[in-house]
Structure formats: C-alpha cells, structure tokens
C-alpha cells in the first residue's frame, strides 16, 4: 500500500508518529496502515481443495514427534494497539490475537484454504456460501461455539457502531443465516471473488457474551489454541494453552509470551542471548550469515511478503508521458537492486504478487531488462533527447527503499535522466503522495494475496489509494470482471490481461518483492511463514 | 574583564590583534596544532577530486560493505561506494557549514551585540530578552524546527545553525562592550568629540571583539557536530551527497557487518571538532592574560 493509505484515517497519523518514535517497525507500520484502510483484504486464492489431513501434516515438522510443554518467547517488531480483531489496526496485534481466535477457514503456506472452524464449505450459487462448523469448539469463557457466533461476528463487523477497519472486506455480505446450530450460510449482495480470502484473512470469530462481559480491546476471548492471560502495556502479552481446544493434540507449548522489540539489531541479539526464542523481521543484512548457519534457524517463504515499486504521477508532466515511464522501466537493473539494496534477500520485482503465488503470470516484458539502448530510444521518442531532471521522494525510514532510490538515480543517469533525491519523513511524504504532489517515489503494498486487493485499491480510476492519477477504462473493466468472477482460472486469466495493460502503461515499475523472514532457536519446531502474514503458534513445539 | 581592554595601544586595534596572533602562534601549541588540523582538512576538502580516484556516488555492486583494502582504504558502504572518498567529500559539507554558519552568525550577531551593549537601556533590554528566548531552546531542537519550516539542504542548515548562534555571539560581544564602553580611552575619545558611530566601530568594537572571535571558533567545532547530528536525522544534505553524520546514519544498521563504516566517519568528526576546539581554546588562553575563560 503505498503507505499512503495512511492519510485516510486520523488513527494513522498516530501511527506515523509511533513509527517515527520507533515504537513499531516498518513491517508493523505497513500492516497497520493497510488494516486501517482495509487494504488487508487478502485475495481469494486458488485451488481451495486439498485434503485436510494432508495439510495438517505438512504444517508440522517432518522429522520428529511434537513434544508438549515449555514457554515460547516471541520477539515482535512492535506493540499491539489493542486486541480486538474487528478494530485493531496494528500488524503486531494481529500476530498476537490470531493465536487467541479462530477463523472459519485459513490460508496455508501455499495460499490454499484450510478448514478451521468450518469443516466443509460450498458455494450454493454465485452469491451464496454455506459452511459446516466444528462441533467441539469452546470459547475461553466456557461458551460453546455455534453458528450464532458466526452470525454475531459479521453483524458486529458490519455494524457502524463497531467502527471496524475491516468493513470494506465484508460489505459484500447481505446477510448471515443460521441454518442450524452447526451450519451457517452467507448471502452476498453480488458475486465476490475475494470472499473466501477475506474470511481467511480477517474473519476472527468472537462470542457475543464475551464481548459484553470483557473489554474486547484489552481481554480477547476466542476459541483459539491459546487463552489470553495478561497484557502488560508496552512490555509483553502472555497467552496460555487452552486445554479445551477443539483441534486435537494442539497446541503444544504451555504458554506464549510476545514481546515488542522495535530495534532490529536488538531483536536478533535477544534471540542469540536466549532472551527470546523466536523473532520476526530479521534485518536483511544479517540474512546471509543466518542462512549459512544452523543456529539460529532462518526461515522465509517465496510467496509471503510485499511488492516494492516505483510510482509516478501519470497525469502531470513529466511522467504523463508513457514513453518516458517505459524508458525508466527499461533502464532499471532490478537484479542490482536486489543484490545491493536488499542484500540478495527477496525476489526481483515483476508484479503485485510474488512468483510463488498461484496468481502469478509470467508476462512481464521488463523481466528481460535492463535494456539501456531501448530505454534511450524511448527517451528520445518521448521527446527528451537530451535527458531531463526529475525529483524522487526518498523515505529514509525504510533504508531499502532509500537505497533503491539511490541506485535508480545512478541507473537513470546512464540514459541521461538526472534524478534528484529529496528525503522526507513518513508524514510529509504521505501528504505529498496523497496529494499527488510528487513526480516519482518508491511505495509498497501489503498483502496482495488476491490481486484484487492491489488493483481495486491502487489502480482503478476510483481506487481509494490511487495516488498515481492513473485512469484506464479498459483496466477498470477487466479488474471489475475479475472481482466478480468466482472461477479461479478465469480470474487468473483476467489478471494476466490486467498486467499486460499495466506493463504497457507503466503507472508502476515493480522493483522488488520483499519476503517475510523469521529466525528462531533450533529447538523451535513447526513455525512457518504464511502468505497471509499471519503468525500461528498452534503447531509450534519446543524440542 | 575583556582582554583587549588591558592592552596597550588599544586605540588602534589592528596591530594589536595581529600582534597577539603572532605571539600566540609562537607560544601556544594548541593554536598551532588546531590551525594545522583545520588547514589540513580545508586543503583535503578543496582538493577532494585530486586526492581520490573515485566519485562519491559511484557504486560498485560487487563490493558492498567491503572491508578496508588496497582498492578501498576505508572499505565501502552499503551501496558499494568508496568510504574514503565519501569521508573526504564530507569535509566539504562540514567545513561549508562550520564557516558559513559562523560567518553568517557574526554578520548578524556583531551589530546586535554592539548596539545593545553600547546603547544599553530599553533597546538593550528588548534585544537581550529576545536573545534569552532564543537561548532557552536547545540548539539542535531550534535547528530542527527551522529546517522543518524552511526545508532541507545545505543552505537551510547553514541558516538554521546561524540562527542558533546569533544570540550566543551577540551576548558575548555585548558583555565585552559593556566593559569597554566605560574604559577611559573610550571616554577620552568621546571627550575629543568622536561620534557614536566612530566610537562604536573604531574604539569599542576592536577592543571587545576578542572573546567573540574565540567563541566563534569554538562554535565552528560545535557546528560540525550539529551538522553531523542533523544529517544523521536526514535533515541535512540530500543523498547521494556525502556528509559525516549521514554516513553514520546509513551504516547504523550494518555496524556488526561493517564497523569501519561507522568508525571512519566518527574519527573524521572527532578530528574536525578537535581541530576547531584546539584553535578556539588556544586563542582564548592567549587572548586572556589572566587565563580566565569567559
């Protein structure tokens, strides 16, 4: 998201401040903003149907039988704002409360749906989905889980009084019908491709009695593997194993302690000293060293992360000139940027989704680049035979993005474009971005599991986060078709067409795909990186 | 209390100052060492392109965070740029800021201090309360506030630091002027019919400027620190122009991989600050016969 979305809700201003004061890291920051504007809507992923048993097994470490007991101490990048899944807007909070709550379905590491509180689901017609629910789930307050809780959960999210940040993810829901105690039916206003993905991303099921009896912001109560124990503000959150968890055998550890550690180097040092045994967001410069060793264990995924891209204001000079944008796209050496700015971690940028995504289509012409001769020719055709001078807004808060800017500056100099860098803090940067008061800058977008989350939010002419001024009715129409189609194969083809338009018009240059990185002690087993960026400790055990 | 007031032949100040300087140079090792460092750094900054074969923004993608070697004596930074080259070019920024801000501050501060001290009364009261207000701000915060208003860049940084310095220099000068304006030679000149302008510029200023110049030299050292601080915060020159503080910022995530990326800019800051400090303290002890610090 371009952290742009930052400007939409007053809450985000706070975030900017907190980000600047170092309370939350980039990753936390990104997700927060994303959540606040509901950028999070994950997309529906493909191939929803593998056998549940198989998937359960592949979540576990293959080598050994899981052991019960122990305390898992996790170092996160920031502090939670609150622990109510309907209203929290901080990524760190989601990392914590996703262990307290269950959703109907979840995404596995390949982007397929797994059953959770729903054992089976089916689409009765394009606008109706039915879910069979587990019979043995119990909320941490002792209330048994039933279809009424599902109904309450989504009524609560859609109730304006709740002021949920996630309303846009679910406003396609017309009604939720309790068919019987363990069957629930969703009636949609219109067919909606990303529906399942959104359920898997932000559909944490809550209980009406628990919401009334406890402050949901401070004392979350779900059916999840861990029960909330305590939250010492600005220090830690402790969760305890829920002995009545419906998933047999899990969880394994007795408790989980989440600590906020905003300083990258400090987090890694805490892991190495044993203060914590699991950390999020390994600094990129340390990845090479961690990869070559076995302690701590380094973990990443090729389909979990976020795209970093250059964005232009395309309705004002000089970048209202398509050939000029194409020249930039051809001049950039993404492999050098990967090697230098990102220390070789992540992927060369190509599209809004990573190459490991089921949505990926390999029709990116710039993948063969850079091609300076072509870039120079395009620059000539664009009417700048003698080059030009442009201004790039740099974000020093995100060292990789600023380094990218500095490398791009050198690369554009080779074709005669002088790119001056102006560094800005996040807040003035987003102000200029939102007002389209820039020429070129780096941006990123969180959680684009479903391409709709990218195109409907950033690129259609009425998109809430369209800060490039891009407008193309052909693209709008394709994005709308893809959103309303429910067959994954059809949708995939439509998104390949969308990308063809994007590669031709170049409102963005996809520079890099940043991947999520975890590190842990070798005794921590069963942790995995999920494309939903969720953190689930249910299957984690300590050797 | 002001040193020149006790000097003989104080009526014509110029010979006095040069006399002092030559004497100080001969006697005071601090001045000699300080001057040597400052001159050396100035020469290095001026001749940067002759000293190093690299450009400060040329990247070497296959030598990122490399250690010191024959090709790169200080090693390279996170973008594969030669650290020695960047340190050398950084002195240009440091010295521009140090000299620029202090000269600008003197241009404004001297008239203010002189007028306030010489005239006294309501004008003095008003100016000094204004200066008190400015001095109440921590220097770096005031500079940050100004940069936020005026925007980033070298010129703005020079102006911001100068604004911080004006009250300091004006106040020091005013103190000396208060002393000197009562001196018998000033009264003598007045008795001979000298006008205010002549009294201020020919008699009071030359005999009260000493401590202010000492202070100005010391403030150059401080300016180098402020510049490094502001650049560390990203408020100084814009990349890829190198600055010592910004180099520290760029390397701060990589300290464990590349200690030299922080070490050399740190040493460079220390050396520059040391040079101006030695010069300043040396001048002070030479100019104050009682060896008292102002």
- Of the residues A210, A242, A268, the one at which a domain ends: A210
CB contact under 8 A, B57 and A410: yes
Query: Closest approach of chain B CAs to the CA of A402, in angstroms?
Result: 9
DSSP-derived 3-state class of residue B94: helix
- Chains A and B form CB pairs within 8 A to the count of 57
Determine, yes or no, domain membership for B108.
yes
Determine, yes or no, domain membership for A363.
yes
d(CA A403, CA B77): 11
What are B122-164's pLDDT values in tens digits?
A: 999 999 999 999 899 888 898 999 998 988 889 999 999 999 9
Whether residues A48 and A110 share a domain: the answer is no
d(CA A228, CA B136): 49
Contact A238, A229 (CB under 8 A): yes
Locate the chain A residue with the closest alpha carbon to B153. Answer: A422
Nearest to B61 among A264, A340, A420 (CB): A340
CB contact under 8 A, B239 and A406: yes
Whether residues A265 and A326 share a domain: the answer is no
Chain A residues close to B239, C-beta within 8 Å: 394, 402, 405-406, 421, 423
Query: Closest approach of chain B CAs to the CA of A223, in angstroms?
Result: 40
What are A14-55's pLDDT values in tens digits?
A: 333 333 333 333 433 333 333 333 333 333 233 332 233 223
Whether residues A147 and A256 share a domain: the answer is no
How many CA atoms within 13 Å lie on the side-chain side of A335?
7
pLDDT exceeds 70 at position B15: no
Determine, yes or no, domain membership for A14.
no
CB contact under 8 A, A423 and B238: yes
Report the CATH number that the domain containing residue A56 is assigned in CATH.
3.40.190.10
What are B89-129's pLDDT values in tens digits?
A: 999 999 999 999 999 999 999 999 999 999 999 999 999 99
Please give the average per-residue pLDDT across B208-220, as a whole number.
94
CB contact under 8 A, A264 and B253: yes
Determine, yes or no, domain membership for B96.
no
Contact A445, A508 (CB under 8 A): no
Contact A312, A542 (CB under 8 A): no
d(CA A114, CA A45): 11
Phi, psi of A120 (to 5 degrees): -145, 155
Locate the chain B residue with the closest alpha carbon to A391. Answer: B238
Which helix (H) or strand (E) element contains residue B268?
helix B259-287
Chain A residues close to B253, C-beta within 8 Å: 264-265, 283, 285, 399
Query: Closest approach of chain B CAs to the CA of A22, in angstroms?
Result: 13
Angle B157-B158-B160 from CA coordinates, rounded to 5°: 60
Report the CATH number that the domain containing residue A416 is assigned in CATH.
3.10.105.10
Please give the average per-residue pLDDT across B36-41, as a whole number.
96
Contact A172, A227 (CB under 8 A): no
Nearest to A403 among B57, B78, B234 (CB): B78
d(CA A58, CA A81): 33
Determine, yes or no, domain membership for A4.
no
ipTM of this complex: 0.74
Q: Which two tokens stand for residue A348?
A: 């060369």
CB contact under 8 A, B65 and A285: yes
CB contact under 8 A, A403 and B79: yes
Q: Which of A345, A403, A442 to mutate to test the interface with B (most CBs of B within 10 A)?
A: A403
Determine, yes or no, domain membership for B157.
yes
Which pLDDT score, from 0 to 100, does residue A1 have?
Answer: 37
Query: Closest approach of chain B CAs to the CA of A203, in angstroms?
Result: 37
Chain A residues close to B78, C-beta within 8 Å: 285, 340, 399, 403
Structural domains in chain A (count): 3
Chain B residues close to A341, C-beta within 8 Å: 79
Determine, yes or no, domain membership for B265.
yes
Which pLDDT score, from 0 to 100, does residue B274 have?
Answer: 96
How many CA atoms within 13 Å lie on the side-chain side of A415?
28
Nearest to A423 among B152, B253, B257 (CB): B152
Q: Which two tokens stand for residue A286?
A: 């340390």
Contact A84, A228 (CB under 8 A): no
Which pLDDT score, from 0 to 100, does residue A30 have?
Answer: 38
Query: Closest approach of chain B CAs to the CA of A422, in angstroms?
Result: 6
Distances, alpha carbon A283 to alpha carbons A229, B51, B245, B254, in Å? 31, 35, 22, 9
d(CA B37, CA A18): 43
Locate the chain B residue with the closest alpha carbon to A335. Answer: B61
Residue A266 per-residue DSSP state: H
Nearest to A410 among B59, B64, B254 (CB): B59
Alpha carbon of residue B56 to chain centroid:
25
| Domain range for A54 | 42-100+224-296+521-543
Whether residues A278 and A317 share a domain: the answer is no
Query: Closest approach of chain B CAs to the CA of A37, in angstroms?
Result: 28
pLDDT exceeds 90 at position B284: no
Nearest to B240 among A341, A396, A409 (CB): A409
Residue A138 per-residue DSSP state: B
Q: Which two tokens stand for residue A218?
A: 């401070």
Whether residues A126 and A232 share a domain: the answer is no
CB contact under 8 A, A406 and B240: yes
Determine, yes or no, domain membership for A8.
no
Residues of A with CB under 8 A from a CB of B: 264-265, 283, 285-286, 336, 339-341, 343, 394, 396, 399, 402-403, 405-407, 409-410, 420-423, 425
Query: Closest approach of chain B CAs to the CA of A42, in angstroms?
Result: 32
Determine, yes or no, domain membership for A32.
no
Query: Closest approach of chain B CAs to the CA of A393, in angstroms?
Result: 11
Q: Which of A340, A370, A428 to mutate to test the interface with B (most CBs of B within 10 A)?
A: A340
d(CA A410, CA A443): 19
Residues of B with CB under 8 A from a CB of A: 57-59, 61, 64-65, 78-80, 152, 234, 238-240, 249-250, 253-257
Which pLDDT score, from 0 to 100, does residue B256 have?
Answer: 84
Report the CATH number that the domain containing residue B178 is assigned in CATH.
1.10.3720.10
Q: Residue ranges of the alpha helices (H) in A274-358?
A: 284-292, 322-331, 334-340
Q: Residue ranges of the alpha helices (H) in B181-209?
A: 184-191, 196-198, 205-208
CB contact under 8 A, A409 and B253: no
Instruction: Provide CB contacts within 8 A for B22, sequence distance 6+.
Output: none
Please give the average per-residue pLDDT across B240-252, as a whole number.
92
Please give the average per-residue pLDDT across B238-266, as a whole number.
91
d(CA A489, CA A402): 38
Which pLDDT score, from 0 to 100, does residue B117 have?
Answer: 94
Contact B198, B216 (CB under 8 A): no
pLDDT band at residue B11 under the 50/70/90 scheme: very low
Which pLDDT score, from 0 to 100, does residue A486 have?
Answer: 84
According to DSSP, the residues that pair with A259 across neighbouring strands are: A75, A236
Contact A229, A161 (CB under 8 A): no
Determine, yes or no, domain membership for B205.
yes
Which pLDDT score, from 0 to 100, does residue B123 have?
Answer: 92
pLDDT band at residue B21 under the 50/70/90 scheme: low
Angle B62-B67-B68 from CA coordinates, rounded to 5°: 115
Tell me the average pLDDT of chain B.
Answer: 88
The residue with tokens 């890829």 is: B240
CB contact under 8 A, A402 and B239: yes
Determine, yes or no, domain membership for B12.
no
Report the CATH number that the domain containing residue A195 is assigned in CATH.
3.90.76.10
Determine, yes or no, domain membership for A255.
yes
Determine, yes or no, domain membership for B64.
no
Determine, yes or no, domain membership for A217.
no
Whether residues A327 and A434 share a domain: the answer is yes
Whether residues A68 and A185 share a domain: the answer is no
Which pLDDT score, from 0 to 100, does residue B19 have?
Answer: 60
d(CA A30, CA A445): 8
Nearest to B254 among A285, A340, A409 (CB): A285
Q: Find the Cα–Cα–Cα–Cα dihedral B277, B282, B283, B287, rounded to 10°.
A: 140
| Domain range for B262 | 41-47+104-294
Alpha carbon of residue A455 to chain centroid:
15
Whether residues A496 and A400 share a domain: the answer is yes
Determine, yes or no, domain membership for B59.
no
Chain A residues close to B63, C-beta within 8 Å: none
CB contact under 8 A, B240 and A340: no
Instruction: Provide CB contacts within 8 A for A214, sequence distance 6+.
Output: A141, A221
CB contact under 8 A, B249 and A396: yes
CB contact under 8 A, B59 and A403: no
Which pLDDT score, from 0 to 100, does residue B153 have?
Answer: 87
Whether residues A291 and A313 share a domain: the answer is no
Phi, psi of A508 (to 5 degrees): -130, 150
Per-residue 3-state assignment (H helix, E strand, C coil) for A190-250:
CCCCCHHHHHHHHCCCCCHHHHHHCCCCCCCCCCCCEEEEEEECCCEEEEEECCCCCCCCC
Query: Closest approach of chain A CAs to the CA of B136, in angstroms?
Result: 24
Query: Closest approach of chain A CAs to the CA of B86, in angstroms?
Result: 15
- Of the residues A171, A186, A210, the one at which a domain ends: A210
Query: Closest approach of chain B CAs to the CA of A311, in angstroms?
Result: 20
Contact A241, A227 (CB under 8 A): yes
Nearest to A340 among B57, B58, B59 (CB): B59
Which pLDDT score, from 0 to 100, does residue B26 have?
Answer: 61
Q: Which two tokens stand for residue A414?
A: 């080779």
Contact A311, A439 (CB under 8 A): no
Alpha carbon of residue A299 to chain centroid:
17
Whether residues A273 and A166 share a domain: the answer is no
Query: Closest approach of chain A CAs to the CA of B270, in angstroms?
Result: 25
Nearest to A394 among B64, B80, B239 (CB): B239
pLDDT exceeds 50 at position B210: yes
Nearest alpha-carbon partner for B293 in B211, B222, B178: B211
CB contact under 8 A, B255 and A265: yes
d(CA B142, CA B160): 8
d(CA A114, CA A137): 17
pLDDT band at residue B25 under the 50/70/90 scheme: low
Which residues in A425-454 are b (16+ Cβ under 10 Å) and which e?
bbbebbbbbbebebbbbbbbbbbbbbbbbb
Task: Answer left, alpha or beta for residue A269, where phi above 0 means left and psi between -120 and 50 means alpha.
Answer: alpha
Structural domains in chain B (count): 1
Which helix (H) or strand (E) element contains residue A170?
helix A167-170
Whether residues A350 and A488 share a domain: the answer is yes
List per-block mean pLDDT (blocks of 10 residues) for chain A, which spans 543 residues: 33 33 37 34 30 34 76 93 88 92 91 92 94 96 96 95 84 94 96 91 93 94 96 95 90 96 88 94 89 88 88 95 97 95 92 89 91 96 95 88 94 95 86 94 83 88 89 95 90 96 97 93 92 90 92
Q: How many helices (H) and strands (E) does chain A have?
A: 18, 19
Determine, yes or no, domain membership for A143.
yes
Nearest to B253 among A285, A409, A422 (CB): A285
Whether residues A71 and A118 share a domain: the answer is no
Which pLDDT score, from 0 to 100, does residue B10 have?
Answer: 42
């Amino acid at each position: 998201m371009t952290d742009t979305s930052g400007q939409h809700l007053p809450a985000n201003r706070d975030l900017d401040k907190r980000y600047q004061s170092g309370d939350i890291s980039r990753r936390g920051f990104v997700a927060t903003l994303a959540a606040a504007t509901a950028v999070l809507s994950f997309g529906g992923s493909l191939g929803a149907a593998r056998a549940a048993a198989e998937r359960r097994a592949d979540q576990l470490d293959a080598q050994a039988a899981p052991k019960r007991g122990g305390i898992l101490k996790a170092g996160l990048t920031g502090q939670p704002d609150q622990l109510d899944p309907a209203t929290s807007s901080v990524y760190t909070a989601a990392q914590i409360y996703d262990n307290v709550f269950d959703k109907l379905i979840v995404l596995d590491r390949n982007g397929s749906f797994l059953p959770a509180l729903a054992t089976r689901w089916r689409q009765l017609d394009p606008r109706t989905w039915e879910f069979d629910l587990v019979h043995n789930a119990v909320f941490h307050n002792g209330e048994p889980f039933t279809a009424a809780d599902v109904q309450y959960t989504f009524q609560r999210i859609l109730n304006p009084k709740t002021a949920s940040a996630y309303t846009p993810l679910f406003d396609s829901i017309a009604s939720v019908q309790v068919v019987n105690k363990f069957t629930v039916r969703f009636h949609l206003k219109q067919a909606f491709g990303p529906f399942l993905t959104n359920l898997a991303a932000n559909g944490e099921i809550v209980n009406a009695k628990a919401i009334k009896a406890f402050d949901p912001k401070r004392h979350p109560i779900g059916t999840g593997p861990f029960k909330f124990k305590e939250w010492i503000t600005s220090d830690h959150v402790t969760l305890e194993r829920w002995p009545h968890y419906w998933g047999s055998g899990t969880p394994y550890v007795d408790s989980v302690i989440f600590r906020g550690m905003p300083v990258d180097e400090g987090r890694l040092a805490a892991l190495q000293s044993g203060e914590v045994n699991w950390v999020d967001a390994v600094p990129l410069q340390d990845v090479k060293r961690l990869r070559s060793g076995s302690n701590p264990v380094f973990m990443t995924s090729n389909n979990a992360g976020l795209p970093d891209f250059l964005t232009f204001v395309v309705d004002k000079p000089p970048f209202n000139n398509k050939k000029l944008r194409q020249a930039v796209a051809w001049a950039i050496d993404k492999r050098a940027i990967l090697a230098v700015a990102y220390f070789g971690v992540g992927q060369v940028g190509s599209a809004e989704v990573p190459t490991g995504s089921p949505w990926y289509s390999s029709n990116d012409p710039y993948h063969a680049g850079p091609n300076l001769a072509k870039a120079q020719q395009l620059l000539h055709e664009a009417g700048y035979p003698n080059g030009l001078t442009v201004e790039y807004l740099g974000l020093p808060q995100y060292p990789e993005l600023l380094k990218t800017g500095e490398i791009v500056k050198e690369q554009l100099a080779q074709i005669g474009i002088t790119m001056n860098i102006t560094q800005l803090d996040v807040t003035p940067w987003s102000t200029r971005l939102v007002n389209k008061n820039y020429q070129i800058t780096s941006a990123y977008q969180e959680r684009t599991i479903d391409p709709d989350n990218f195109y409907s939010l950033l690129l259609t002419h009425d998109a809430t986060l369209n800060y490039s001024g891009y407008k193309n009715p052909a693209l709008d129409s394709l994005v709308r078709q893809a959103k309303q189609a429910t067959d994954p194969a059809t949708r995939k083809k439509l998104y390949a067409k969308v990308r063809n338009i994007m590669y031709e018009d170049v409102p963005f240059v996809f520079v890099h795909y940043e991947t999520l990185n975890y590190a842990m002690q070798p005794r921590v087993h069963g942790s995995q990186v999920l494309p939903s960026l969720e953190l689930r400790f249910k299957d984690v055990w300590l050797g | 209390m002001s040193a020149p007031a006790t000097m003989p032949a104080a009526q014509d100040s110029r010979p006095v100052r040069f006399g002092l300087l030559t004497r100080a140079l001969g006697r005071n090792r601090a001045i000699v060492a300080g001057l040597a460092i400052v001159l050396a750094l100035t020469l290095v900054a001026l001749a940067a392109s002759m000293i190093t074969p690299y450009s400060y923004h040329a990247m070497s993608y296959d030598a990122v965070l490399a250690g010191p070697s024959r090709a790169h004596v200080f090693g390279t930074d996170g973008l594969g740029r030669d650290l020695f080259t960047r340190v050398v070019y950084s002195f240009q920024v440091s010295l521009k800021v140090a000299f620029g801000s202090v000269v600008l501050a003197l241009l404004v501060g001297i008239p203010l201090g002189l007028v306030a001290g010489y005239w006294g009364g309501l004008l003095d009261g008003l100016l000094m309360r204004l200066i008190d207000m400015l001095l109440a701000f921590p220097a770096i915060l005031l500079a940050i506030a100004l940069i936020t208003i005026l925007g980033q860049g070298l010129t703005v940084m020079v102006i911001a630091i100068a604004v911080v310095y004006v009250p300091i220099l004006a106040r020091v000068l005013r103190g000396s002027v208060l002393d000197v304006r009562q001196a018998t030679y000033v009264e003598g000149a007045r008795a001979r019919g000298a006008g205010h302008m002549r009294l201020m510029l020919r008699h009071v200023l030359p005999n009260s400027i000493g401590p202010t110049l000492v202070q100005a030299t010391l403030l150059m050292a401080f300016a180098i620190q402020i510049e490094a601080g502001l650049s560390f915060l990203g408020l100084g020159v814009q990349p890829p122009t190198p600055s010592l503080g910004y180099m520290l910022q760029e390397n701060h995530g990589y300290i464990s991989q590349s200690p030299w990326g922080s070490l050399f800019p740190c040493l460079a800051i220390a050396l520059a600050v040391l040079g101006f400090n030695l010069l300043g303290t040396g001048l002070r002890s030479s100019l104050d016969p009682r060896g008292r610090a102002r």
